[in-house]
Structures are given as C-alpha cells and as structure tokens.
Amino acid sequence: DGGITQSPKYLFRKEGQNVTLSCEQNLNHDAMYWYRQDPGQGLRLIYYSQIVNDFQKGDIAEGYSVSREKKESFPLTVTSAQKNPTAFYLCASSTRAVLSGANVLTFGAGSRLTVL
Amino acid sequence: AQKITQTQPGMFVQEKEAVTLDCTYDTSDQSYGLFWYKQPSSGEMIFLIYQGSYDEQNATEGRYSLNFQKARKSANLVISASQLGDSAMYFCAMRDSLDSGNTPLVFGKGTRLSVIA
C-alpha cells in the first residue's frame, strides 16, 4: 500500500545533540512538508519542498535543516540550535490535483521527539 | 498573511447527535481552498473534506459537510449522527493562491471533540 513512513516513532535526545527524523513516501508525490505540533497548538510549518533539490523555509525553520536528494525522501534534522525541540513532528506529501488547489496533504504517523 | 481561527478548544456531543465545529479564516486572496482534518489519539492526520472558494455548493462527504459562508469567511464542519469513534482533534486548514500548486496548508489550533455515549 502507498503511504508515508516516518521513523523513528519515538526518539529521545540529550541536549546538544543533533537528531535526524526520516520521512519516506511511495506515493510518487512531488511535494513534501514538515510540520511541528505542540500541545494546544496547531500544526506549524518547518520546511517544505516542491521538487527534488529544492526546499523553502516555513514559519519556524530556525534550528532545523532538510534535504531533498530523492523524490521519495525528505529527512529533517533537528540541530542543537533548536531551543525547544521537544514536540510531535509530522511529515506530509501532496501532488498536483485535477482540481486546482485541492491538493490534499497525506500525512505520516508522526515522530515524537523528547529532549532529556 | 493567512490566518485560521478555531474558537472552540473543546466540544462535547451526545452520541447520534449532530455537532458543528467552527472555523473562520482570513485571506486577501479570491482563490483559496479550505480543508478539515481529523487527528485521533494515535496522532495521524486524516483528511475529511475540501471546499474551494469558487465552489457554489457546500461540500459533503458521508456524515461530514462543510457549511461555507464566504461573506462571513467561515467554513464550519458539521458532523451528523456522531459516533464514539469521532472523538478526536479536528483541524481546519487553508491554502490560498490555488494556482500555485503544491503550497503548504496553514492550520488552526484545533478543536477537541468528545462524543458521549
């Protein structure tokens, strides 16, 4: 079945360490996205990529980095510069729909990062 | 800048009753799309329904319908015949500039719905 796989599901990190969250999709979607979710908050955009080898910063990109070397993969690195990295991270993908604008985002199951 | 407002942090509804979850939006674009997602306790985001700004009729998908009032900039989700499995967080989201293709969605803060037996 097609879908988005995020790993790991749970991750613990010591302060000062970088950590990379994996996101892989087999939907042949062009665009991929990373969102962060905190309790009581909606989803906030970290980075997104509309095509391979290109990506744009979202609203809260500071302390994060991404790469898009393959269409299927969009890993997110949480660096030590991110002051409050404990959160739930959601990866999504989409493709251009027949109806302009109705590009539904398909989400992975999420990765929960806890900084100790 | 786009903005989505969901004013109800939490809602309760009796099983088999209908419930309306509020969503208002702010955009200067004439062409935009509105989405509703459900997030169960497992964390995964599930797409429910979509409404384009030029769609003349309200969108419906099974028990879900979107009450779209363009002049008021509101896009409320109506769930009919609530079921225990409807208990979840519900997020309203928007994409403007529809011709831009795969641009990100902007999300509201969500409403937690609890269905009571």
Closest CA to A25 of A11, A45, A7: A7
Taking only the tens place, the pLDDT of each residue in A3-14 is 999 999 999 999
Q: Which of B6, B24, B45 to mutate to test the interface with A (most CBs of A within 10 A)?
A: B45
Length of chain A: 116
Whether A110 contacts B43, CB under 8 Å: yes
Of A40, A58, A96, the CB nearest to B102: A96
pLDDT for residue A98: 58
Taking only the tens place, the pLDDT of each residue in A65-82 is 999 999 999 999 999 888
Contact A42 B44 (CB under 8 A): no
Task: Using an 8 Å CB-CB cutoff, list residues of chain A that contact chain B.
Answer: 30-31, 33, 35, 40-45, 48, 50, 58, 88, 90, 92, 94-96, 99-110, 112
Q: Which of A72-86, A89-103, B64-78 has the lowest average pLDDT?
A: A89-103
Mean pLDDT of chain B: 93
Contact A45 B44 (CB under 8 A): no
> How far apart are the CA of B93 and the nearest CA of chain A, in angstroms?
9
Mean pLDDT of chain A: 92
Whether A19 contacts A13, CB under 8 Å: yes
pLDDT for residue B96: 80
Contact B102 A31 (CB under 8 A): yes
pLDDT for residue B60: 96
pLDDT for residue A99: 58
Q: Does B8 touch chain A (CB under 8 A)?
A: no
Contact B101 A48 (CB under 8 A): no
DSSP A99: S
Sign of CA dihedral B15, B41, A74, A47: positive
> What is the average per-residue pLDDT within A95-106?
73
CA distances from A25 to A63, A71, B71, B116 (A): 24, 8, 39, 37
> How confident is residue A40, by pLDDT bands cut at 50, 70 and 90?
confident
> How far apart are the CA of A106 and the nearest CA of chain B, in angstroms?
8
Contacts of A84 by beta carbon, 8 Å cutoff, 6+ apart: none
Closest CA to B115 of B10, B13, B16: B13
